[in-house]
Amino acid sequence: MSYLESLRSNLLALTESAASLDAIEEVRVRALGKASDIAGLMKTLGGMSPEERQVKAPLIQGLRAEVTEAIAAKKQALEAAALDAQLASETLDMSLPVASLPQGSVHPVSQVMDELAEIFADLGFAVATGPEIEDDWHNFTALNIPESHPARAMHDTFYFPEDKARDGRRMLLRTHTSPVQIRTMMNQEPPIRIIAPGRTYRSDSDATHTPMFHQVEGLVIDRGIHMGHLKWTLETFVKAFFERDDVVLRLRPSYFPFTEPSAEVDVGFSRENGRRVIGGSDGWMEILGSGMVHPRVIAACGLDPNEWQGFAFGCGIDRLAMLKYGMDDLRAFFDGDLRWLRHYGFASLDVPTLSGGVGA
């Protein structure tokens, strides 16, 4: 048996007999390290004649490759066996009491979304969703917002580069959840009763505005709908949400491109310990915008505005949470401060979702 064959048999036997990761590492160093026999053989190649090197080099390099492959395979098998042994030995006691484990909390925004869904489900509304990356037709044009309207300006809207346009329509981060109303009217036969909660984006940041915020909009499309239906719906919603019977609303004439007539909705508040509290009549605070859906918006969705009428409204979910639960700075909603979350968050097993319904 030649020296190379003897060395090969010896190294492969050592590799096969390695019983642990530490042992296979010792074999690797012995077989392939700088002081190994294979490394010594590789160094002899430089002193050989070209003819001799042509014969010996493939044999030595083949030996190194074979041993390297065998060590890698053995190491992989030992790692798999070690992992199986670890998984077999580890257990999780599912009977441990929950109170002894770290507890999370429900974010106020998630809490308010739950409450909104419960309230409007009791009024016969479904929850609708849509994409947060929208095209300018659904976000602006279909909502009767002309090209020259300031809401389209770069300082308000996050646009994607023009080369990202789809079907000739420029893409953007939606500035409101109104595109969900458009998509619903185009894909669903009336009558329609939906709310559309979700994330929206505008280039603005201060104590009461953030670049990303949460909004909920409502839409009703049916025959014979008028402002009286809108006012009753909003009064019922606000009283249920703030859980007070002394809530008073005031509708002020306003302008929105997608509704006509349009109205800003104010709610009465009282002062308690220097803070504004919803309910009473010490003053007025604006909480949402609303109006009758503009006939052009209804027609843009393929419906006949002479047959179908409707109303729509929208407000900030973050603002509703601030008013109901006493937060002063909207930016804290997105800071991820555990102290703030523990103070304002809700226990996961004790969430007041108003599941008793509006009439409870």
Q: Please work out, in degrees rounded to the nearest 5, the angle formed at the alpha carbon of residue 143 by the alpha carbons of 140 and 148.
A: 50
Burial class (CB in 10 A: 0-12, 13-18, 19+), 94: exposed
**C-alpha 288 chain-centroid distance:** 25
φ, ψ at 259 (rounded to 5°): -130, 150
Distance, in Å, from the CA atom of 127 to the CA atom of 196, rounded to the nearest integer, reads: 6
Cα separations in angstroms, 97 against 101, 342, 351: 7, 20, 20
How far is it, in rounded angstroms, from Cα 180 to Cα 144? 15
Q: What is the pLDDT of residue 357?
A: 46
User: What is the structure's pLDDT at 349?
Assistant: 66
Strand pairing class (133-135; 212-222): unpaired
CA–CA distance, 217 with 112 (Å, rounded to integer): 14
Q: Write down the pLDDT at residue 97.
A: 67
Q: What pLDDT does 42 receive?
A: 83
> Is the Cβ–Cβ distance between 163 and 206 less than 8 Å?
no
3-state secondary structure string, 302-360?
CCCCCCCEEEEEEEEHHHHHHHHHCCCCHHHHHCCCHHHHHHHCECCCCCCCCCCCCCC
Q: What is the pLDDT of residue 9?
A: 85
Residues in Cβ contact with 178 at an 8 Å cutoff, skipping those fewer than 6 apart: 139, 143, 196, 217, 258, 312, 314
Mean pLDDT across the chain, nearest whole number?
86
Task: Please report where in the chains the tokens 């890698």 appear, as a residue.
Answer: 72
Can you tell me the distance from the alpha carbon of 236 to that of 116, in angstroms, rounded to the nearest whole number?
12
Question: What is the chain's alpha carbon radius of gyration, rounded to the nearest angstrom?
Answer: 35
Residue whose token pair is 């096969």:
16
At residue 326, the pLDDT reads 82
Look up residue 324 and give its two tokens: 């109901």
User: Residues with Cβ < 8 Å from 112, sequence gap 6 or more?
Assistant: 317, 320, 321, 324
Q: pLDDT by residue (tens digit) across 241-281?
A: 988 888 889 999 999 999 999 999 999 888 887 777 888 77
- Is residue 248 helix, strand or coil? coil
The crossing angle, in degrees rounded to 10, of helices 317-325 and 108-122 is 100
- Reading the block at residue 322, the tokens are 């601030």
Question: Tokens at residue 2, please?
Answer: 């030649």
Amino acid 359: pLDDT: 44
Residue numbers in the chain where pLDDT is lower than 70: 1, 96-103, 154-155, 205-209, 349-360
What is the reported pLDDT for 154? Answer: 65
Per-residue tokens: 141 = 């044009």
CA 62 to chain centroid, in Å, comes to: 54
Handedness of CA 180, 181, 182, 183 (dihedral sign): positive
Residue 296 confidence (pLDDT) = 95
Give the three-state DSSP class for 158: coil
Over residues 191-228, the pLDDT tens digits come to: 999 999 999 998 876 666 678 889 999 999 999 999 99
CB of 249 closer than 8 Å to CB of 281: no
Q: Are the beta carbons of 326 and 204 closer than 8 angstroms?
A: no
pLDDT at 354: 57
